[in-house]
């Protein structure tokens, strides 16, 4: 660490009291689960893992903690006491995640200043630290998946700028493969209980977009969707966590704490006015642990609040010299559902089916009838046209395109003029059958139950692009 970071208070010796508290917590967790999850007073707060740092930078990625950082554990029950540092051998450590059994910690670490960030795992007391990844660039923001796998963010410099993608690997570091294949500077947020990965990325999915929204996809890279679209204002969303009722809590770049409830069309602001919030996380039934500070405050502290943001917050840790961020409760969690991948990795193609390309919440009122769709692909040498295919009278089309490559769509009239043009780059995985109700339809409404003409004709999909082009991307390429 730098000189400033070295001033962090040292707790070199793990106290018997903390070890006993953690051991008792782990042993009794299953038998006394309900009692451990009640957060009616400070004494019943579970142990909290968090990041302590002299400075939180205003940037994401590898430079978030320019003066170093470390992971510490705060035993539940007494604010500001029983703090034990777990990563004394690291210049910087961040992004702690507790496994589903509540017994181990996954985190990102930088052994020495200037090293690439790697993914590591350790016991709750900081012992048995082992390196999981051997990334040639920075790898951060990990999360556990079912079946002994993890997902994480890979960040690399590309032509002088940062580009990030999501990758999946075994918990032993084996079988690393990319699961995002387009631009957008992907950043892992969390793994939802239904098994999907929640990520943030640029909106639209390009390298230069100003907005950032939340997206979901399956762990094999299929089924990419936006969690909620935003058409009326600028937005920069991230640091998301899932609550027990399925609501997603996140922060905006303004420091606001927001929530999207299951089934709701729009987000809702929670928390107290005049506060800046960072890195919320579930901490027992109906409660959040979150980093917060006043608008002009010097450092973030950790507080417990109700998941709906109502009521008073209770401070559980603060330090006048250091920020406390990225809190995670040490408790057992349900194992997410496991998606069985149906990819055909030997295939060079994927498929898009649109039920009605004219179905759009923001289509022009005087738009001409859609007659064809043009598909463009992003290649290292630039944007190319893969080809055009007819659109049926009911607005449907069925396409075969190279897999693992960013593509976007342009809707054309009978003269070849552009009616609407998609700006985001999307992809399909090998053998994936991707369907959508329309090019920009309302996701809160179920599509009409009908058999589209594009499939009723029982003809092969329109093939756009060469089959060999799908192999140029490579199965393990993540950018």
Each domain of the chain, given as residue ranges in start order, spans 5-329, 349-473
Q: What's phi and psi for 320, nearest 5 deg?
A: -70, -10
Provide the pLDDT for residue 309.
82
The candidate with the shortest Cα–Cα distance to 96, out of 306, 335, 289, is 289
Mean residue pLDDT of the chain comes to 84
> What is the pLDDT averaged over residues 424-448?
76
Q: Is 207 exposed, middle or buried (0-12, 13-18, 19+ CB in 10 A)?
A: middle
**To 5 degrees, how large is the angle CA 418–CA 421–CA 425?**
145
The band of 441, judged by pLDDT with boundaries at 50, 70 and 90, is low
Quote the CA–CA distance of 430 and 343 in Å, as a whole number.
6
CA quadruple 113, 118, 119, 121: dihedral, nearest 10? -50
Note if the bond before 387 is cis, omega within 30 degrees.
no
Highest mean pLDDT among 54-63, 89-98, 291-300: 89-98
Higher pLDDT, 103 or 10: 103
The band of 398, judged by pLDDT with boundaries at 50, 70 and 90, is very high
Cβ-based neighbours of 289, under 8 Å, separated by 6 or more: 45, 48, 280, 281, 282, 283, 302, 303, 304, 316, 327, 328, 329
Q: What is the pLDDT of residues 24-82, one digit of tens each?
A: 334 333 333 332 333 334 457 789 999 999 999 987 778 899 999 999 999 865 555 67
Report the percentage of the chain scoring pLDDT > 70. Answer: 81
Least confident of 156-165, 323-332, 378-387, 417-426: 156-165
> What is the pLDDT averaged over residues 153-174?
86
Per-position b or e across 16-29, b if 16+ CB within 10 A of its CB: eebeebbeebbeeb
What distances in angstroms separate CA 246 from CA 192, 227, 242, 291, one per listed residue?
8, 12, 6, 21
Highest mean pLDDT among 54-58, 290-294, 312-316: 290-294
pTM of the model: 0.86
Adjacent-strand bridge partners of 92: 110
> What is the pLDDT averaged over residues 83-94?
96
Provide the pLDDT for residue 58.
82
Is 60 exceeded by the pLDDT of residue 4? Answer: no
Adjacent-strand bridge partners of 328: 49
Q: What is the pLDDT of residues 182-240, one digit of tens each?
A: 999 999 999 999 999 999 999 999 988 889 999 999 999 999 999 887 766 788 999 99
Domain 5-329 coded CATH 2.120.10.30? yes
Provide the pLDDT for residue 285.
74
Query: Residue 35 in 3-state DSSP?
Result: helix
Pick the CATH number of 349-473 from 2.60.40, 3.30.420, 3.30.70, 1.10.3470: 2.60.40
Q: In this structure, what token pair is assigned to residue 444?
A: 């809160």
Is 70 exceeded by the pLDDT of residue 181? Answer: yes
DSSP state of 440: B
What distances in angstroms separate CA 245 from CA 32, 38, 308, 328, one per listed residue?
21, 16, 11, 18
What distances in angstroms separate CA 344 from CA 118, 170, 462, one per listed residue?
30, 20, 19
> What is the pLDDT averaged over residues 135-141?
95
Least confident of 96-110, 153-167, 197-211, 238-252: 153-167
Is 50 exceeded by the pLDDT of residue 17? Answer: no
């Amino acid at each position: 660490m730098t000189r400033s970071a070295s001033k962090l208070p040292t707790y070199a010796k793990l106290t018997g009291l903390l070890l006993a508290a953690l051991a008792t917590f782990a042993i009794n967790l299953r038998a006394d689960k309900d009692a451990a999850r009640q957060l009616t007073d400070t004494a019943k707060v579970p142990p909290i893992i968090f990041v302590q740092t002299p400075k939180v930078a205003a940037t994401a990625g590898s430079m978030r903690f320019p003066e170093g950082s470390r992971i510490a554990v705060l035993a539940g029950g007494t604010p500001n006491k029983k703090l034990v540092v777990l990563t004394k051998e690291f210049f910087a450590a961040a992004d702690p995640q507790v496994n589903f059994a509540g017994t181990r910690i996954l985190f990102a670490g930088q052994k020495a200043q200037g090293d690439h960030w790697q993914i590591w795992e350790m016991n709750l007391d900081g012992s048995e630290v082992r390196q999981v990844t051997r990334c040639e660039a920075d790898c951060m923001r990990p999360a556990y998946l079912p079946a002994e796998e993890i997902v994480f963010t890979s960040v690399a410099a590309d032509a002088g700028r940062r580009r990030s993608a999501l990758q999946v690997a075994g918990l032993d570091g084996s079988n690393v493969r990319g699961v995002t294949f387009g631009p957008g500077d992907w950043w892992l947020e969390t793994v939802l209980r239904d098994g999907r990965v929640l990520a943030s990325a640029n909106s639209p999915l390009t390298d230069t977009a100003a907005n950032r929204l939340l997206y979901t996809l399956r762990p094999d890279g299929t089924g990419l969707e936006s969690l909620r679209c935003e058409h009326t204002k600028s937005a920069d969303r991230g640091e998301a966590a899932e609550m027990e009722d399925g609501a997603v809590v996140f922060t905006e770049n303004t420091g606001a704490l927001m929530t999207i409830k299951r089934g709701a069309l729009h987000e809702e602001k929670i928390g107290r006015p005049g506060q800046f919030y960072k890195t919320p996380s579930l901490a027992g039934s109906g409660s959040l642990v979150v980093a917060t500070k006043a608008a002009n405050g010097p450092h973030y502290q950790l507080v417990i609040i109700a998941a709906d943001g109502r009521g008073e917050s209770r401070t559980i840790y603060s330090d006048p010299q250091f920020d406390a961020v990225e809190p995670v409760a040490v408790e057992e969690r349900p194992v997410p559902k496991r998606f069985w991948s149906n990819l055909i990795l030997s295939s060079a193609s994927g498929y898009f089916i649109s039920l009605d390309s004219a179905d759009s919440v923001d289509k022009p009122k005087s738009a001409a009838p859609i007659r064809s769709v043009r598909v463009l692909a992003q290649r290292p040498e630039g944007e190319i046209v893969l080809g055009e295919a007819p659109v049926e009278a009911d607005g449907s089309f069925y396409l075969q395109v190279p897999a693992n490559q960013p593509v976007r769509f342009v809707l054309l009239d009978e003269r070849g003029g552009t009616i609407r043009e998609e700006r985001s780059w999307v992809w399909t995985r090998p053998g994936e059958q991707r369907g959508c109700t329309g090019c920009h339809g309302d996701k809160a409404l179920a599509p009409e139950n009908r058999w589209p003409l594009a499939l009723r004709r029982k003809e092969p999909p329109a093939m756009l692009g060469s089959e060999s082009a799908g192999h140029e991307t490579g199965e393990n390429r993540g950018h």
